[in-house]
Amino acid sequence: MSDTTAGLLQVGLLTRARGVPPPLGAYMARVYESEHDIRAEWIVYRVMLVDPKAYQRWPAYARALLAFSVVGVLFLYALQRFESHLPLSLRFPGVAPARAFKTAASFVTNAN
């Protein structure tokens, strides 16, 4: 493909993509401003014993954030350590314990 064709194709795609945000934004505004929960949300709330209309104070938010981070680190650590036992694995050996922990912690803390 020539540079001119690639450039014209890119301009055409960007021009076409300009039409996407308004309908997508309108849809997102409807979803986030709605007071009604769909059935799937209601089921999840009931299973997790959550009141969707209740205000969440900062201590509850901090506990939820820490719990989510701990579960994320443990899941990523286990995923790396048992890589060779996963379905459709290429049978690469599992990552060393220290490297698996460092990688899992860096993903959860968004550190490079």
pLDDT higher than threshold 70 for residue 112: no
Distance CA 27, CA 46 (A): 26
Task: Give me the phi and psi of 5, to 5 degrees please.
Answer: -65, -45
More confidently predicted of 35 and 81:
81
Domain interval for residue 42: 1-54
Confidence of residue 17 (pLDDT cuts 50, 70, 90): low
Are 79 and 98 part of one and the same domain? yes
Are 75 and 37 part of one and the same domain? no
Are 70 and 90 part of one and the same domain? yes
Number of domains in the chain: 2
pLDDT higher than threshold 90 for residue 99: yes
DSSP string, 2-47: -HHHHHHHHHHHHHHHTTSHHHHHHHHHHHHH--PPPHHHHHHHHH
pLDDT higher than threshold 90 for residue 11: no
Q: Return the structure tokens found at 71.
A: 């579960």
Are 60 and 112 part of one and the same domain? yes
Tell me the whole-structure pTM to 2 decimals. 0.59
- Best-predicted range by mean pLDDT among 7-16, 28-37, 94-103? 94-103
Are 49 and 69 part of one and the same domain? no
Are 70 and 111 part of one and the same domain? yes
Are 47 and 94 part of one and the same domain? no
What pLDDT does 77 receive? 95
- The fraction of the chain above a pLDDT of 90, given in percent, is 37
